[in-house]
A and B are shown apart, each in its own frame.
Chain A
Amino acid sequence: MCATCGCDEDSRSTVTDLDSGRVVTRPGPGHAPDHSHGHDHDHDHEADHGHGAAGPARTATRVVTLEQSVLAKNDLLAGRNRDWLAARFILALNVMSSPGSGKTTLLERTVRDLRAEVPVSVVEGDQETLLDAERIRATGCRVVQINTGSGCHLDAEMLGRGLATLDPPVGSLVLIENVGNLVCPALFDLGERARVVVMSVTEGDDKPLKYPHMFRSAQLMVINKVDLAPHVDFDPDRCAGHARTVNPGLEVLSVSATRGDGLDAWYAWLRGHLAARRP
């Protein structure tokens, strides 16, 4: 509670400054402007009006043309992440899927199988808990967890902070496990080199048609849990066909992260991108 006027600071809206990571609080309406909260209350607008004028001193409104992308800030920060990663020859991949597709299992297996040839670290994104990060850490891999709270996706600012904490070594591989969600993460560029969308055979082969934004924004689709394919009604060819309907250039691999099927092709894909990270 504000000690000067008793207003409840918790009830204010907050705006997060994406450049500094600072949370800026703003007072609500009716808040007395003559005391300090560490921020100013002035209103330096350009329209002319008299503060002490008698009567309704109405002035004409003006229209300001912005023509600015709503995601301009995120895209700016994603660009900084991309430059930061490129300067360190780090390959960062944004791994996305619905909850339960086996992303964490795929990453655990990948860390174990590849760390002899390249340093690997992981950024985990979840709304709550450290559970996935703990699973990754159990492999001996460096990992940071970003909890988004009510947020349904990672954004570039969160990843920037995650990378600063993670401090991955030059020339390494950073796997970013996004929040399990096939809708929202698709819109937010993080600064990754490529996007990988994981889906599993238990999910239904029509998913690419239901969530076209996600599949259109990815470079690779990994179909996981193929060991379960005999038990479910899932046609991998139909799934790949649907995915290529929304994204003709999409690469497709089928794997079982638990049994190991198809992982050589996944590692070959990773090695191809790793080879391209140095000039």
Chain B
Amino acid sequence: MHELAITESVVASVRDRLGDARVLAVTLEIGRLSGVVADSVRFCFDLCTEGTPLQGARLDIVDVPGGAYCRGCRSDVELVDLIPLCPCGSADLDITSGQELMIRQVEVA
């Protein structure tokens, strides 16, 4: 379960930036193509924040849908699963969204 390491990394990054400031909320962007399961991050968040200034903080997760530009039919397509395939049949796609794994903002007391 790499979500544990991912969540530890979120906590470490926030502390690096904000020191011991009391954190009330963290907003994460998790793309659907990122390979990270939002529910697992929620599960790990309470564990990883215990005893830190993030303890008890609210975790807001922004779900980012997958999107790509198809070079075949020159259009933007939504990717509903992890397989980069355009409805036109082409697999020659540039993924434009859905791979995000980002700490967007933190609310501090």
**Contact A70:B28 (CB < 8 A) given known A59-B109, A213-B35:** yes
Q: Assess whether A18 is interfacial by the CB under 8 Å rule.
A: yes
Interface size class of B (residues with CB under 8 A): 35 or more
Provide the bound-state CA to CA distance between A267 and B30, in Å.
39
Contact between chains at B104 and A28 (CB < 8 Å): no
**Contact A70:B20 (CB < 8 A) given known A155-B5, A187-B36:** no
Pick from A44-52, A164-172, A231-239 the stretch touching chain B: A44-52
B1-39 contacts to A, CB under 8 A, are 1-2, 4-6, 8-15, 17-22, 24, 28, 34-36
Q: Assess whether B96 is interfacial by the CB under 8 Å rule.
A: no
Among B4, B36, B109, the most chain A Cβ lie within 10 Å of the Cβ of: B109
Pick from A71-79, A100-108, A112-120 the stretch touching chain B: A71-79
Contact between chains at A12 and B51 (CB < 8 Å): yes
Q: Assess whether A225 is interfacial by the CB under 8 Å rule.
A: no
Contact with B along A71-95 (1 / 0, CB 8 A): 1111000000000000000000000
Contact with A along B77-109 (1 / 0, CB 8 A): 000001111000001100000000111111111
Residues of A in contact (CB 8 Å), total: 50
Q: Assess whether B68 is interfacial by the CB under 8 Å rule.
A: no
Contact between chains at A47 and B108 (CB < 8 Å): yes
User: In the complex, which residues of chain B have a beta carbon less than 8 angstroms from the beta carbon of A246?
Assistant: 82-84
Pick from A60-68, A123-131, A189-197, A268-276 the stretch touching chain B: A60-68
Nearest A residue to B54 via CB reads: A13
Contact between chains at B52 and A13 (CB < 8 Å): yes
The smallest beta-carbon distance between B17 and chain A, in angstroms, is 6
User: In the complex, which residues of chain B have a beta carbon less than 8 angstroms from the beta carbon of A63?
Assistant: 105-108
Interface of B: prevailing SS: mixed
Contact between chains at A187 and B35 (CB < 8 Å): yes
Contact between chains at A13 and B50 (CB < 8 Å): yes
The smallest beta-carbon distance between A27 and chain B, in angstroms, is 7
From B15, B21, B104, B107, give the contact of A67 (CB < 8 A): B104
Contact between chains at A47 and B109 (CB < 8 Å): yes
Nearest B residue to A184 via CB reads: B2
User: In the complex, which residues of chain B have a beta carbon less than 8 angstroms from the beta carbon of A27?
Assistant: 51
Nearest A residue to B14 via CB reads: A66
10 cross-chain pairs, A with B, having the tightest CB-CB distances, nearest first = A184-B2, A45-B21, A28-B51, A212-B82, A213-B35, A43-B20, A13-B51, A70-B101, A66-B103, A65-B105
Given contacts A18-B12, A184-B5, 6 further A-B contacts (CB under 8 A): A16-B12, A29-B55, A61-B108, A66-B104, A67-B105, A246-B83
